Amino acid sequence: MAVVNVNLGDRSYPITISPGCLANIGDLLRNIDPETKILIVSDDHVAALYGQQVLASLEKAGYHAEIFQIRPGEASKTIEVAMSVYTKAIEWGMDRKSSFLALGGGVVGDLTGFVAATYLRGVPFIQVPTSLLAQVDSSVGGKVAVDHPLGKNLIGAFYQPQTVVIDPALLRTLPEREYYAGLAEVIKYGAIADKEFFTRLLTEQEAILARNPLVLGEIIQRSCQIKADIVEKDEKDTSLRMILNFGHTIAHALEAGFGFERYNHGEAVAIGMVGAALLSHRMGFCSPDVVAALRDCLIRFHLPTNVVGGTVIDYRGYMERDKKNIGGETQWILLLDIGQTTICNAVSEAMLQDIMAEIMLPADA
Protein backbone atom coordinates (compact mmCIF):
# COMPACT_ATOMS: atom_id res chain seq x y z
CA MET A 1 0.00 0.00 0.00
CA ALA A 2 1.41 3.41 -0.97
CA VAL A 3 0.58 6.63 0.83
CA VAL A 4 1.18 10.16 -0.47
CA ASN A 5 0.74 12.85 2.17
CA VAL A 6 -0.59 16.28 1.28
CA ASN A 7 0.99 18.53 3.90
CA LEU A 8 -1.19 21.56 4.53
CA GLY A 9 -0.93 22.08 8.32
CA ASP A 10 -4.24 21.29 10.03
CA ARG A 11 -5.76 20.52 6.60
CA SER A 12 -3.23 17.76 5.81
CA TYR A 13 -4.46 14.40 4.57
CA PRO A 14 -3.24 11.08 3.21
CA ILE A 15 -3.86 9.68 -0.26
CA THR A 16 -3.89 5.89 0.02
CA ILE A 17 -3.23 4.00 -3.21
CA SER A 18 -3.61 0.24 -3.34
CA PRO A 19 -5.10 -2.18 -5.89
CA GLY A 20 -8.14 -3.89 -4.36
CA CYS A 21 -8.41 -1.52 -1.37
CA LEU A 22 -12.04 -0.56 -2.10
CA ALA A 23 -13.24 -3.76 -0.43
CA ASN A 24 -11.68 -2.59 2.87
CA ILE A 25 -12.44 1.09 2.64
CA GLY A 26 -14.12 1.15 6.05
CA ASP A 27 -10.78 0.31 7.67
CA LEU A 28 -8.94 3.08 5.79
CA LEU A 29 -10.95 5.99 7.24
CA ARG A 30 -8.96 6.32 10.43
CA ASN A 31 -9.47 10.09 10.62
CA ILE A 32 -13.28 9.83 10.40
CA ASP A 33 -14.98 9.42 13.79
CA PRO A 34 -16.29 5.89 14.41
CA GLU A 35 -20.05 5.27 14.50
CA THR A 36 -20.84 8.49 12.61
CA LYS A 37 -23.04 8.86 9.53
CA ILE A 38 -21.45 8.77 6.10
CA LEU A 39 -23.51 9.65 3.03
CA ILE A 40 -22.04 8.03 -0.08
CA VAL A 41 -22.73 10.21 -3.13
CA SER A 42 -22.31 8.37 -6.42
CA ASP A 43 -23.69 8.32 -9.95
CA ASP A 44 -25.98 5.57 -11.25
CA HIS A 45 -23.19 3.81 -13.22
CA VAL A 46 -20.58 3.76 -10.48
CA ALA A 47 -23.12 2.97 -7.74
CA ALA A 48 -24.27 -0.09 -9.72
CA LEU A 49 -20.68 -1.35 -9.92
CA TYR A 50 -19.27 -0.49 -6.51
CA GLY A 51 -21.95 1.06 -4.28
CA GLN A 52 -22.92 -2.05 -2.31
CA GLN A 53 -19.29 -3.04 -1.73
CA VAL A 54 -18.49 0.38 -0.21
CA LEU A 55 -21.69 0.41 1.84
CA ALA A 56 -20.96 -3.06 3.26
CA SER A 57 -17.37 -2.16 4.16
CA LEU A 58 -18.41 1.07 5.92
CA GLU A 59 -21.12 -0.74 7.91
CA LYS A 60 -18.70 -3.52 8.84
CA ALA A 61 -16.33 -0.86 10.21
CA GLY A 62 -19.18 0.50 12.39
CA TYR A 63 -20.31 3.54 10.36
CA HIS A 64 -23.96 4.34 9.56
CA ALA A 65 -23.97 4.65 5.78
CA GLU A 66 -26.45 5.30 2.99
CA ILE A 67 -26.09 5.89 -0.75
CA PHE A 68 -27.45 8.90 -2.64
CA GLN A 69 -27.36 8.53 -6.44
CA ILE A 70 -27.21 11.25 -9.06
CA ARG A 71 -27.37 10.99 -12.86
CA PRO A 72 -23.99 10.51 -14.55
CA GLY A 73 -22.46 13.40 -16.50
CA GLU A 74 -21.54 17.06 -16.29
CA ALA A 75 -25.23 18.06 -16.37
CA SER A 76 -25.43 16.92 -12.72
CA LYS A 77 -22.85 19.43 -11.51
CA THR A 78 -25.43 22.07 -10.65
CA ILE A 79 -26.68 23.96 -7.64
CA GLU A 80 -30.05 22.15 -8.09
CA VAL A 81 -28.44 18.71 -7.75
CA ALA A 82 -26.41 20.02 -4.79
CA MET A 83 -29.73 21.09 -3.25
CA SER A 84 -31.08 17.54 -3.59
CA VAL A 85 -28.02 16.23 -1.70
CA TYR A 86 -28.53 18.85 1.07
CA THR A 87 -32.17 17.76 1.33
CA LYS A 88 -31.16 14.12 1.74
CA ALA A 89 -28.55 15.11 4.35
CA ILE A 90 -31.04 17.18 6.38
CA GLU A 91 -33.77 14.54 6.19
CA TRP A 92 -31.33 11.81 7.24
CA GLY A 93 -30.23 13.94 10.20
CA MET A 94 -26.56 14.45 9.29
CA ASP A 95 -24.78 16.60 11.89
CA ARG A 96 -21.37 18.27 12.07
CA LYS A 97 -19.62 14.95 12.75
CA SER A 98 -21.22 13.30 9.73
CA SER A 99 -19.27 12.99 6.46
CA PHE A 100 -19.86 12.83 2.75
CA LEU A 101 -18.04 10.24 0.66
CA ALA A 102 -17.65 10.95 -3.08
CA LEU A 103 -17.62 7.65 -5.00
CA GLY A 104 -17.15 8.45 -8.68
CA GLY A 105 -15.33 10.59 -11.22
CA GLY A 106 -14.71 14.33 -11.31
CA VAL A 107 -18.36 15.38 -11.43
CA VAL A 108 -19.26 13.41 -8.31
CA GLY A 109 -16.08 14.53 -6.49
CA ASP A 110 -16.48 18.24 -7.29
CA LEU A 111 -20.20 18.28 -6.45
CA THR A 112 -19.84 16.28 -3.22
CA GLY A 113 -16.91 18.41 -2.09
CA PHE A 114 -18.96 21.54 -2.75
CA VAL A 115 -21.85 20.16 -0.67
CA ALA A 116 -19.47 19.15 2.15
CA ALA A 117 -17.85 22.61 2.14
CA THR A 118 -21.21 24.33 2.60
CA TYR A 119 -23.43 21.90 4.55
CA LEU A 120 -23.60 23.19 8.18
CA ARG A 121 -20.71 25.51 7.16
CA GLY A 122 -18.47 22.56 6.40
CA VAL A 123 -18.32 18.87 7.35
CA PRO A 124 -15.65 16.25 6.54
CA PHE A 125 -15.54 14.58 3.17
CA ILE A 126 -13.77 11.60 1.67
CA GLN A 127 -12.73 11.27 -1.96
CA VAL A 128 -12.92 7.83 -3.56
CA PRO A 129 -12.18 8.61 -7.22
CA THR A 130 -13.08 5.91 -9.74
CA SER A 131 -11.85 7.44 -13.03
CA LEU A 132 -8.17 7.91 -13.88
CA LEU A 133 -8.71 11.64 -14.36
CA ALA A 134 -10.19 11.95 -10.88
CA GLN A 135 -7.53 9.69 -9.33
CA VAL A 136 -4.62 11.77 -10.60
CA ASP A 137 -6.15 15.23 -10.64
CA SER A 138 -9.57 16.35 -9.43
CA SER A 139 -9.70 14.36 -6.17
CA VAL A 140 -6.43 15.89 -4.95
CA GLY A 141 -5.93 19.54 -4.02
CA GLY A 142 -9.32 20.63 -2.71
CA LYS A 143 -10.90 22.37 -5.70
CA VAL A 144 -14.65 21.79 -5.34
CA ALA A 145 -17.36 23.40 -7.43
CA VAL A 146 -20.61 23.32 -9.33
CA ASP A 147 -21.15 24.79 -12.79
CA HIS A 148 -23.09 27.95 -13.67
CA PRO A 149 -24.97 28.22 -16.99
CA LEU A 150 -22.38 30.85 -17.98
CA GLY A 151 -19.33 28.68 -17.27
CA LYS A 152 -17.90 25.53 -15.72
CA ASN A 153 -16.72 25.48 -12.07
CA LEU A 154 -17.63 29.13 -11.48
CA ILE A 155 -19.26 28.51 -8.06
CA GLY A 156 -16.89 26.75 -5.70
CA ALA A 157 -14.30 26.75 -2.95
CA PHE A 158 -10.94 25.40 -1.89
CA TYR A 159 -11.94 22.69 0.58
CA GLN A 160 -9.59 19.81 1.28
CA PRO A 161 -10.87 16.27 1.87
CA GLN A 162 -10.07 14.33 5.08
CA THR A 163 -8.65 11.51 3.04
CA VAL A 164 -8.40 10.19 -0.54
CA VAL A 165 -8.62 6.46 -1.22
CA ILE A 166 -7.53 5.26 -4.67
CA ASP A 167 -8.05 1.74 -5.96
CA PRO A 168 -6.27 1.42 -9.36
CA ALA A 169 -8.03 -1.92 -9.98
CA LEU A 170 -11.30 0.01 -10.52
CA LEU A 171 -9.90 1.36 -13.77
CA ARG A 172 -10.47 -1.95 -15.52
CA THR A 173 -14.18 -1.06 -15.93
CA LEU A 174 -13.48 2.43 -17.27
CA PRO A 175 -14.51 2.98 -20.94
CA GLU A 176 -11.46 3.15 -23.22
CA ARG A 177 -11.90 6.76 -24.26
CA GLU A 178 -12.20 7.91 -20.65
CA TYR A 179 -9.12 5.93 -19.69
CA TYR A 180 -6.99 7.55 -22.40
CA ALA A 181 -8.35 10.95 -21.34
CA GLY A 182 -6.98 10.35 -17.84
CA LEU A 183 -3.61 9.46 -19.32
CA ALA A 184 -3.44 12.96 -20.84
CA GLU A 185 -3.23 14.40 -17.30
CA VAL A 186 -0.61 11.78 -16.35
CA ILE A 187 1.51 12.77 -19.36
CA LYS A 188 1.01 16.40 -18.34
CA TYR A 189 2.71 15.73 -14.97
CA GLY A 190 5.75 14.33 -16.76
CA ALA A 191 5.80 17.23 -19.21
CA ILE A 192 5.65 19.94 -16.54
CA ALA A 193 7.62 18.43 -13.67
CA ASP A 194 9.46 15.16 -14.20
CA LYS A 195 11.36 14.13 -17.33
CA GLU A 196 12.28 10.73 -15.87
CA PHE A 197 8.61 9.99 -15.20
CA PHE A 198 7.77 11.08 -18.77
CA THR A 199 10.34 8.59 -20.11
CA ARG A 200 9.02 5.87 -17.81
CA LEU A 201 5.56 6.26 -19.30
CA LEU A 202 7.06 5.34 -22.66
CA THR A 203 8.98 2.33 -21.35
CA GLU A 204 5.89 1.08 -19.49
CA GLN A 205 3.55 1.82 -22.41
CA GLU A 206 2.40 -1.77 -22.81
CA ALA A 207 1.61 -2.33 -19.12
CA ILE A 208 -0.17 1.03 -18.89
CA LEU A 209 -2.33 0.30 -21.93
CA ALA A 210 -3.09 -3.16 -20.48
CA ARG A 211 -4.14 -1.40 -17.23
CA ASN A 212 -1.78 -3.45 -15.08
CA PRO A 213 -2.95 -2.40 -11.59
CA LEU A 214 0.52 -2.56 -10.00
CA VAL A 215 2.13 -0.36 -12.67
CA LEU A 216 -0.89 1.92 -12.60
CA GLY A 217 -0.58 2.20 -8.82
CA GLU A 218 2.98 3.51 -9.24
CA ILE A 219 2.03 5.88 -12.05
CA ILE A 220 -0.89 7.25 -10.00
CA GLN A 221 1.34 7.57 -6.93
CA ARG A 222 3.93 9.66 -8.81
CA SER A 223 1.19 11.82 -10.38
CA CYS A 224 -0.40 12.47 -6.97
CA GLN A 225 3.02 13.22 -5.44
CA ILE A 226 3.76 15.82 -8.14
CA LYS A 227 0.36 17.43 -7.60
CA ALA A 228 0.72 17.32 -3.79
CA ASP A 229 4.14 19.03 -3.97
CA ILE A 230 2.66 21.82 -6.08
CA VAL A 231 -0.51 22.25 -3.98
CA GLU A 232 1.56 22.37 -0.77
CA LYS A 233 3.44 25.38 -2.16
CA ASP A 234 0.42 27.19 -3.63
CA GLU A 235 -2.86 25.83 -2.31
CA LYS A 236 -4.99 28.76 -3.52
CA ASP A 237 -3.70 28.80 -7.11
CA THR A 238 -2.04 32.21 -7.20
CA SER A 239 1.37 31.23 -8.64
CA LEU A 240 3.02 27.79 -8.97
CA ARG A 241 -0.25 25.81 -9.08
CA MET A 242 -0.96 27.50 -12.41
CA ILE A 243 1.54 25.16 -14.07
CA LEU A 244 -1.07 22.40 -13.65
CA ASN A 245 -2.91 24.42 -16.27
CA PHE A 246 -0.40 23.45 -18.98
CA GLY A 247 -2.40 22.85 -22.17
CA HIS A 248 -5.63 23.92 -20.49
CA THR A 249 -6.03 27.41 -22.01
CA ILE A 250 -6.43 25.97 -25.51
CA ALA A 251 -8.22 22.90 -24.08
CA HIS A 252 -10.98 24.93 -22.42
CA ALA A 253 -11.50 26.87 -25.66
CA LEU A 254 -11.75 23.63 -27.66
CA GLU A 255 -14.12 21.98 -25.17
CA ALA A 256 -16.45 24.98 -25.04
CA GLY A 257 -16.00 25.89 -28.73
CA PHE A 258 -17.25 22.47 -29.78
CA GLY A 259 -20.15 22.57 -27.33
CA PHE A 260 -18.58 20.07 -24.87
CA GLU A 261 -19.51 17.31 -27.32
CA ARG A 262 -16.62 16.67 -29.62
CA TYR A 263 -13.78 16.40 -27.10
CA ASN A 264 -13.70 15.22 -23.53
CA HIS A 265 -11.44 17.13 -21.14
CA GLY A 266 -8.39 14.88 -21.51
CA GLU A 267 -8.54 14.87 -25.31
CA ALA A 268 -8.79 18.66 -25.37
CA VAL A 269 -5.85 18.87 -22.93
CA ALA A 270 -3.79 16.62 -25.23
CA ILE A 271 -4.34 18.96 -28.20
CA GLY A 272 -3.88 21.99 -25.95
CA MET A 273 -0.52 20.69 -24.72
CA VAL A 274 0.71 20.34 -28.30
CA GLY A 275 -0.45 23.92 -28.97
CA ALA A 276 1.34 25.19 -25.86
CA ALA A 277 4.50 23.25 -26.79
CA LEU A 278 4.42 24.74 -30.30
CA LEU A 279 4.09 28.21 -28.76
CA SER A 280 7.01 27.43 -26.45
CA HIS A 281 9.18 26.55 -29.43
CA ARG A 282 7.99 29.51 -31.55
CA MET A 283 8.86 31.87 -28.69
CA GLY A 284 12.32 30.38 -28.40
CA PHE A 285 11.80 28.69 -25.03
CA CYS A 286 12.44 25.12 -26.20
CA SER A 287 13.77 23.04 -29.08
CA PRO A 288 11.51 21.35 -31.68
CA ASP A 289 12.51 18.00 -30.12
CA VAL A 290 10.40 18.85 -27.09
CA VAL A 291 7.31 19.33 -29.26
CA ALA A 292 8.06 16.09 -31.13
CA ALA A 293 8.57 14.11 -27.89
CA LEU A 294 5.29 15.32 -26.44
CA ARG A 295 3.37 14.67 -29.64
CA ASP A 296 4.85 11.17 -29.95
CA CYS A 297 3.97 10.29 -26.36
CA LEU A 298 0.35 11.44 -26.77
CA ILE A 299 -0.04 9.45 -29.99
CA ARG A 300 1.32 6.33 -28.30
CA PHE A 301 -1.44 6.62 -25.71
CA HIS A 302 -4.17 7.06 -28.35
CA LEU A 303 -4.70 10.75 -27.73
CA PRO A 304 -5.40 13.37 -30.40
CA THR A 305 -2.74 15.97 -31.15
CA ASN A 306 -4.74 18.23 -33.45
CA VAL A 307 -8.28 19.09 -34.49
CA VAL A 308 -9.24 17.67 -37.85
CA GLY A 309 -12.15 19.35 -39.59
CA GLY A 310 -14.90 21.40 -38.01
CA THR A 311 -15.63 25.07 -38.12
CA VAL A 312 -13.09 27.57 -36.88
CA ILE A 313 -14.14 28.40 -33.34
CA ASP A 314 -13.98 31.76 -31.57
CA TYR A 315 -11.18 30.58 -29.31
CA ARG A 316 -10.22 34.14 -28.33
CA GLY A 317 -13.57 34.74 -26.59
CA TYR A 318 -13.19 31.59 -24.51
CA MET A 319 -9.58 32.40 -23.63
CA GLU A 320 -10.59 35.88 -22.45
CA ARG A 321 -12.95 34.31 -19.89
CA ASP A 322 -10.33 31.89 -18.54
CA LYS A 323 -10.39 31.93 -14.70
CA LYS A 324 -6.58 32.04 -14.58
CA ASN A 325 -6.30 35.35 -16.47
CA ILE A 326 -4.70 38.16 -14.51
CA GLY A 327 -5.53 41.77 -15.43
CA GLY A 328 -7.21 40.46 -18.58
CA GLU A 329 -4.03 38.71 -19.74
CA THR A 330 -3.78 35.00 -20.40
CA GLN A 331 -1.09 33.31 -18.32
CA TRP A 332 0.50 30.81 -20.72
CA ILE A 333 2.27 27.81 -19.23
CA LEU A 334 5.10 27.06 -21.64
CA LEU A 335 7.85 24.45 -21.72
CA LEU A 336 11.59 25.06 -21.44
CA ASP A 337 12.15 21.32 -21.73
CA ILE A 338 10.21 18.17 -20.84
CA GLY A 339 9.84 18.56 -17.07
CA GLN A 340 10.47 22.32 -16.95
CA THR A 341 7.99 25.18 -17.36
CA THR A 342 7.83 28.94 -17.50
CA ILE A 343 4.82 31.27 -17.20
CA CYS A 344 4.46 33.87 -19.95
CA ASN A 345 1.81 36.52 -20.65
CA ALA A 346 3.46 37.97 -23.77
CA VAL A 347 2.05 35.73 -26.50
CA SER A 348 1.05 37.94 -29.45
CA GLU A 349 -2.27 37.60 -31.23
CA ALA A 350 -0.49 36.80 -34.51
CA MET A 351 1.55 34.00 -32.96
CA LEU A 352 -1.52 32.51 -31.30
CA GLN A 353 -3.37 32.60 -34.63
CA ASP A 354 -0.48 30.77 -36.33
CA ILE A 355 -0.45 28.07 -33.67
CA MET A 356 -4.21 27.63 -33.73
CA ALA A 357 -4.04 27.27 -37.52
CA GLU A 358 -1.33 24.65 -37.07
CA ILE A 359 -3.38 22.51 -34.69
CA MET A 360 -6.78 23.03 -36.36
CA LEU A 361 -6.49 21.29 -39.71
CA PRO A 362 -9.12 21.27 -42.47
CA ALA A 363 -11.05 18.03 -42.96
CA ASP A 364 -9.07 17.07 -46.09
CA ALA A 365 -5.64 17.59 -44.49
Note the residues at the interface with ligand GLY (CB under 6 A): 137, 141, 143, 237, 241, 244
Closest CB 141 distance from ligand GLY, rounded Å:
4
Indicate the residue among 241 and 252 with the shorter CB distance to ligand GLY. 241
CB of 253 to ligand GLY, least distance (A): 17
Separation between Cα atoms, residue 32 and residue 164, nearest integer Å = 12
One DSSP character per residue, 72-90 reads: SSGGG-SHHHHHHHHHHHH
Provide the minimum distance between the beta carbon of 244 and ligand GLY in the complex, in angstroms, as a whole number.
4
Handedness of CA 77, 78, 82, 87 (dihedral sign): negative
Q: Among candidates 312, 174, 331, which has minimal Cα distance to 239?
A: 331
Strands in the chain per DSSP E: 2-6, 13-17, 37-43, 64-70, 99-104, 125-129, 143-148, 151-158, 163-166, 307-308, 332-337, 340-344, 360-361
Could you tell me the CA-to-CA distances from 218 to 6, 70, 187, 221, 254 in Å, in that order?
A: 17, 31, 14, 5, 31
For the bound state, the minimum distance from the C-beta of residue 185 to ligand GLY, rounded and expressed in Å, comes to: 8
Cα 223 from Cα 359, distance rounded (Å): 27
Rounded least distance, CB 67 to ligand GLY, Å: 27
> For residues 50 and 197, which CB has a smaller minimum distance to ligand GLY in the complex?
197
Q: Which is nearer to ligand GLY, 316 or 323 (CB)?
A: 323
Least separation in angstroms between CB 321 and ligand GLY: 17
Is 237 or 358 the residue whose CB approaches ligand GLY more closely?
237
Pick the closer one to ligand GLY by CB: 97 or 236: 236
**Identity of the residue, 166 or 244, whose beta carbon is nearer to ligand GLY in the bound complex:** 244
